[in-house]
Chain A
Amino acid sequence: MKLIYKNIEKDGCGSIGLVPEESEDMWHAYNLIAEGDAVTASTVRKVQTESSTGSSTSNRVRTTLTIRVESIDFDTQACVLRLKGRNIEENQYVKMGAYHTLDLEQNRKFILQKVLWDSVALDRVEAACDPTATADVAAVVMQEGLAHVCLITPSMTLVRSKIDVTIPRKRKGFVQQHEKGLNKFYDAVMQGILRHIDFNIVKCVILASPGFVKDQFFDYMMQQAIKTDNKLLIENKGKFLLVKASSGFKHSLKEVLQEPSVMAKISDTKAASEVKLLESFYTMLQLEPAKAFYGKKHVEKANEALALETLMISDKLFRCQDISKRKEYVALVDSARENGCDVRIFSSMHVSGEQLDQLTGIAAILRFPMPELEDSDLEGDSDVESD
């Protein structure tokens, strides 16, 4: 993302001009734009004109519109962001108050006006515009009959293709069927890799599986590459990294990202550090349950006692529709930071973020144990959060 200008008043209101450069920037934009914000962007609109005789013609015009956002729609697969809202600025073609849906496009400037730019939003802009943080890794987690081809970017894990094939089991006299099924499966995975992974961008491709599936697959793929003279695969042979995982399901990516050999290759991408942090939370919960808490009420209480050491919070909470709720979370983050706490905002597009989302979206490791929190029953609260 490129920052064009930043114009923020003392009271926090103001506008920022941004140019999204890659698909991941759409994700940042999705997290920045909230309902009620005003967004200015160039767009195409079909305009109907009526001539004096009453015959009407319609033609498409490119124009720049400013809308008050009413609903936001993000397609994770295609990384397209759609903003729907009413026009709030006078325009040659579009009446005031007319509905329009903006498609944010890559490499086209948009201007975002907010009544209040809070710290979380400003951090997000900064993170989005940091060019050093890009490191693209592709990962294929698989087991016999199931594979996920994923792309891991700093703030997103995208499942590009899921391959689910039933492979006949080995049985007396039917061994060929098993092997045939297996080859078919390997072939599908290989096609998935060729189709979805751009070797120009990707630094390394992780193949992860239980048992020998990854080795078998890698052998198969290289054999096929030599057979079909696929230069792309042969040249990039060194980019493949074989790692052990416990299954072919998506959340075993978590294990993959914790693997030391992977950590070395993709050091400080957000994904790996988030996994590590969440793991340390769970370890703390096991060893010293009075120092690890989750749920908004518990964490808020701990914050009041200046006990927070690390705060993990999912970015999903900041996208909530209710502005006052968002304010509460922002206030919590701000006050925690003030108290010297390490605040990590997890991306809900990563496996670790998904898990945190399930775990009420907010969790914290404390500086000192607070057993009194553990005993206090906050039943009504956890009920609300779970449903």
Chain B
Amino acid sequence: MARHRNVRNRSYSDDYDYDDVYGHSVEEDNCLSPSDTSQWMYDRSRNHQAISSFLENHNDIQEETEEEPLTEPSRPELDRRQSSDLRCLSLTEADEAKLLSCLDELRNILGDTVSENMLIQTVLSHKFDFNKALDALLSNDKNKPKQTEKIKEQSRAPPLVRIEPAKTVINVDKTPKVIATNNEPTTVGVIKGFKVEQDGSSGSRPQTPRDQSPTTEKSNQAPSKVKEKNDPNKQYSNERGSDKDHLYIVVIGHVDAGKSTLMGRLLCELGEVSQRTLHKYEQESKKIGKQSFMYAWVLDETGEERVRGITMDVGRAQFETKTKKVIILDAPGHADFIPNMITGAGQADVALLVVDATRGEFESGFELGGQTREHALLVRSLGISQLAVAVNKLDTTNWSEDRFNEIVTKLKIFLKQAGFKDSDITYVPCSGLTGENLVKPPNELELCKWYKGPCLLDVIDRCNVPVRPVSKPLRMSINDIFKSTGTGFCVAGRIENGILNKGDKVLVCPIKELAEVKGISINDLASNVAFAGDQVSVTLSGVDMQNVSVGNVLSDPVQQVPVSSRFEARLVVFNVKVPITKGYPILIHHQSLVESANIVKLKALLNKSTGEILKKKPRCLGNNSVAVVDIEVCRPICIERYKDVKELGRVMLRVAGVTIAAGLITDIYDT
């Protein structure tokens, strides 16, 4: 067990190499003579052969081990490194090139579902014919489930260990700095493996030197890891399959449309707010003469917000419907707090647009410069396509159907222009203050006469939850940093891609510092794992709180998020007072990040519908145009191409408190 103690005492934060682990464990704990060591140990510096060739030379030894099933092919080892595969295959240079290009093609199509080794073998057996090999692989895939459990795991295991050799290599070429961190996942993987052994079979394992040779080590580890870590989709369905789906909904609308009140009332009706608290709010709001704000106080918590009677920062609360766990993000409606609203909307799946039905109020929110308009455009540009429209305060018009229809018609035309599909929008008449048509079908006679549709809660319940990209590399954008009660500090944000496990190492970009995840909590409940789409707060250690700022991104240490200060984007220009020219200073909003930037180049003006180039290098961009531009940010930020990660590929451009354009990042320049 001494070996295990050794591992336990090790400080994981050190960047030690994969090979070190084996080197140490053999040398220190099993007092072998140097000659023995050299016989059993693999040392890269001494022996420049790849592991696989080493193993093949000692095939007899492998078969001696009792735990090893004789049928087991030596494939997993081959998968470790691409170079080893190629070397032991003894191909001519030309063949090797063919093989590599074939592999690349196959990778493009198959992704990581099939192990490298399988690919190589198939390609070889089909004499480098890409199409035939692909056919064979695909049909092979179908047959797979029929094979024995053991083999299935074997063939699955490798992709986990192998960190996409091809991609990693490219990575290194681009940014040499990365090299150090590239070893990381291997180390993490090894640690994981040890942990599993400790829990399970380790006690019964004979401590012979043979067992500590890399061969057996690996074959024992691999299957356990399949279950543990490396099938995100499986893990996701395991963890969340039975649970209700999480749905994040942002509440938007013009100032004083009644967003907070509506949500506050909804929460009260659902019993999420205790009677005592509510009574307290009622008393206190009466005291300052703003009794109508009592429900809004459920979400507006800071003193400033309550005194002024407006929401300033995004408030959040949660409740459950029949099929979903809903987290509401109550966005501020005031024009000055749109940056906060963008932060909130960036984290949401669907939006609830609240409009004030009062005569005059709706119009003022809807006319040019009103927040109804700007918010709707913003959430659409932020990628939200499902929208529920709550026509609020309809009690003030005595539940007039005409008024409702008038508003719906006006909104329909506008929302269609903004890019929403009619089928994705639901209109609900309701009243936040009286609580009509929120969780129960309406009682009001006037409303019952003409309205037969669902109540607000049902509408929310019917929203579709988007597919969560759990299998992609981790990306989490930070929108809040605060001190937690324990050690370290917390960052909060939404996981855009991938999964995050407790104990994972993550890279804080753009400062590129490695941090360890000490704890995860989702909606104030501690958890061991979080998936794409979750709002989490993560306790980090290993970085200084001072160095982390809002808008930073937690990234997978291997497949890092690109960091750059200059990028190319396709802009859709909204209604602007002055045209956009070269050198126009703007603020860009990217997730929760706000940074000042310049448009440095107007590349081309595009046709709105067809996307073909109308004019190269236009002098300026006017209203409602579509264009390709280069944008330079005053300091490097984490961005992704839109085609890679949608959420991180969107930017909003604002000037003087007005959103002037939305953009999709099409290219990122190295800086």
Contact = CB atoms under 8 A, between A and B. Distances in A.
B657 A246 contact: yes
Interface string B604-621: 000000000000110110
B596 A251 contact: yes
Contact of A179 (B302, B480, B550): B302
A201 B283 CA distance: 51
A255 interface: yes
Interface stretch (B370-378, B384-392, B444-452, B573-581): B573-581
Contacts of B301: 170, 172, 175
Nearest to B656: A246
Contacts of A175: 301-302
Interface in A339-375: 351, 354-360, 374
B583 interface: yes
B578 A286 contact: yes
Contact of A168 (B334, B480, B549, B600): B480
Contacts of A354: 585
Interface residues of B, number: 50
A122 B620 CA distance: 35
A167 to B, nearest CB: 9
Interface stretch (B1-9, B81-89, B311-319, B642-650): B311-319
B482 A358 contact: no
Contacts of B596: 249-251
A179 B304 CA distance: 10
Contact of B656 (A143, A168, A252): A252
Contact of A282 (B312, B482, B579, B619): B579
B259 to A, nearest CB: 16
B479 interface: yes
B481 interface: yes
B480 A211 contact: no
Contacts of B619: 285, 289, 293-294, 374
Contacts of A325: none
Contacts of A252: 656
B479 A169 contact: yes
A77 interface: no
B585 A166 contact: no
Contacts of B656: 246, 252, 254-255
A323 B259 CA distance: 63
A379 B615 CA distance: 11
A335 B576 CA distance: 35
Contacts of B657: 210, 246-247
B481 A166 contact: yes
Contacts of B482: 168-169, 171, 174, 177
Given A170-B313, A247-B587, A247-B594, A285 B581 contact: yes
B337 A211 contact: yes
A55 B583 CA distance: 60
B570 interface: no
B598 interface: yes
A48 interface: no
Interface in B309-365: 312-317, 334, 336-337, 339
Contacts of A254: 656
A178 B314 contact: no
B579 A251 contact: no
A355 B583 contact: yes
A212 B308 contact: yes
A279 interface: yes
B239 to A, nearest CB: 24
Contact of A359 (B304, B581, B622): B581
A3 B667 CA distance: 54
Nearest to B601: A386
Contacts of A174: 482
Contacts of A386: 582, 600-601
B481 A212 contact: no
Contact of B302 (A145, A178, A249, A359): A178
B310 to A, nearest CB: 9
B314 A285 contact: no
A199 B598 CA distance: 34
B333 to A, nearest CB: 12
Nearest to B312: A211
A358 B582 contact: yes
Contacts of A255: 656
Contact of A379 (B334, B480, B617, B622): B617
A379 B578 contact: no
A279 B303 CA distance: 39
A289 B302 contact: no
Interface string A310-354: 000000000000000000000000000000000000000001001
Interface string B538-552: 000000000011100
Interface in B461-496: 479-483, 492
A9 to B, nearest CB: 40
Interface in A153-208: 164, 166, 168-172, 174-175, 177-179
28 contacts: A143-B339, A145-B550, A166-B549, A166-B550, A168-B482, A168-B483, A169-B313, A171-B480, A171-B492, A172-B316, A210-B657, A211-B336, A246-B656, A246-B657, A247-B594, A282-B578, A285-B581, A285-B620, A286-B622, A289-B622, A294-B582, A355-B583, A356-B583, A357-B583, A374-B619, A386-B582, A386-B600, A386-B601
Given A171-B316, A283-B577, 10 more contacts: A168-B481, A169-B482, A170-B313, A178-B302, A247-B339, A249-B596, A285-B578, A294-B619, A356-B583, A358-B582
Q: Which 3 A-B pairs have the closest CB atoms?
A: A358-B583, A246-B657, A168-B482
Interface of B: 301-304, 308, 312-317, 334, 336-337, 339, 479-483, 492, 524, 548-550, 576-579, 581-585, 587, 594, 596, 598, 600-601, 616-617, 619-620, 622, 654-658
Interface of A: 143, 145, 164, 166, 168-172, 174-175, 177-179, 210-212, 216, 246-247, 249-252, 254-255, 279, 282-283, 285-286, 289, 293-294, 351, 354-360, 374, 379, 382, 386
